[in-house]
Amino acid sequence: MKVGFIGLGIMGKPMAKNLLRAGHSLTVFDILAPAVKELVQAGAQAGENPQDVARRSDVVITMLPNSPHVRDAALGDRGILKGIAPGALYIDMSSVAPAAVQEIAARFAEKSVEMLDAPVSGGEPKAKEGTLAIMVGGKPEVFEKAKGLLLAMGSSAVLCGGIGSGNVTKLANQIVVALNIAAMSEAYALSTKAGVDPDKVFNAIRGGLAGSTVLEAKTPMVLAGNFTPGFRIELHIKDLKNALDTAHEVGVPLPLTAQVMEIMQALKVDGKARNDHSGIVQFYERQSGVEVRRR
């Protein structure tokens, strides 16, 4: 299959490489030339811009930071819509506002192009492994046609409903992840301040009800003081803003999400916006006067 891939960042680059490994013909574009060069060396072709990528592809995938970037790549002067052929498929795998996805899908439908929104969860490690969890919105028959392609990048792909449902599900995911990291950070700050080794706390609770994928993935980073992203705090701020905006539109209060958002905003002000979101623990360390590390 001829696939176009736009957006070769922390997540997009390994996802694109997994498509190459699965045997797909790949044309790529990114505003950063070194990322494109790396994919070309791996076997992809370079596109000049999103329009050019779309012109060469049966399926176009975007993996970009936020709604404005997706809107520009999809609908801009040299955007995907200008180059994509009727009957082709556009899949946006970015984490964006559901309303933005629905707006873009309506524009593509005018050209007889189907669209899926298919954001992912799992961070850079699972992107590299090809074991991402993929949450999809769109028509069932379009999903079934694209499922094999998606599973070249993930271990699961679940249709959640109509267009935009993938991103509603991703917002729910990001709420759960943020609150898990904050709860974990509170617990380790408490144990450290009370004189109990947080590594021992981790090993004691991981097999019980408090155990989680978040606990397993983020505790080692916290205990090592390693906040190299994975998934940056500034991107999680973006997701929680989209969650709060969407919640306000539909009439759902999110008080815990709002609280964690303010914790992340405090870390951003403190110059830690590009830290991994496990760095939420640094807020609690500063407030408590302790350092949560393996002893």
- Over residues 201-257, the pLDDT tens digits come to 999 999 999 999 999 999 999 999 999 998 899 999 999 999 999 999 999 999 999
Which domains occur in the chain, in start order?
A: 2-162 (3.40.50.720), 168-288 (1.10.1040.10)
- How high is the pLDDT of residue 230? 83
- Percentage of the chain beyond pLDDT 70 is 100
> Which is the catalytic residue, given 170, 218, 238, 272?
170
> What is the pTM (predicted TM-score) of this model?
0.91
H, E, C per residue of the chain: CEEEEECCCCCHHHHHHHHHHCCCEEEEECCCHHHHHHHHHHCCEECCCHHHHHHCCCEEEECCCCHHHHHHHHHCCCCHHHHCCCCCEEEECCCCCHHHHHHHHHHHHCCCCEEEECCEECHHHHHHHCCEEEEEECCHHHHHHHHHHHCCCEEEEEEEECCCHHHHHHHHHHHHHHHHHHHHHHHHHHHHHCCCCHHHHHHHHCCCCCCCHHHHHHHHHHHHCCCCCCCEHHHHHHHHHHHHHHHHHHCCCCHHHHHHHHHHHHHHHCCCCCCEHHHHHHHHHHHHCCCCCCC
Reply yes or no on whether the pLDDT at 188 is more than 90. Answer: yes
- How high is the pLDDT of residue 220? 97
Q: How would residue 99 be classed by pLDDT, with cut points 50, 70 and 90?
A: very high
Is 272 annotated as catalytic? no
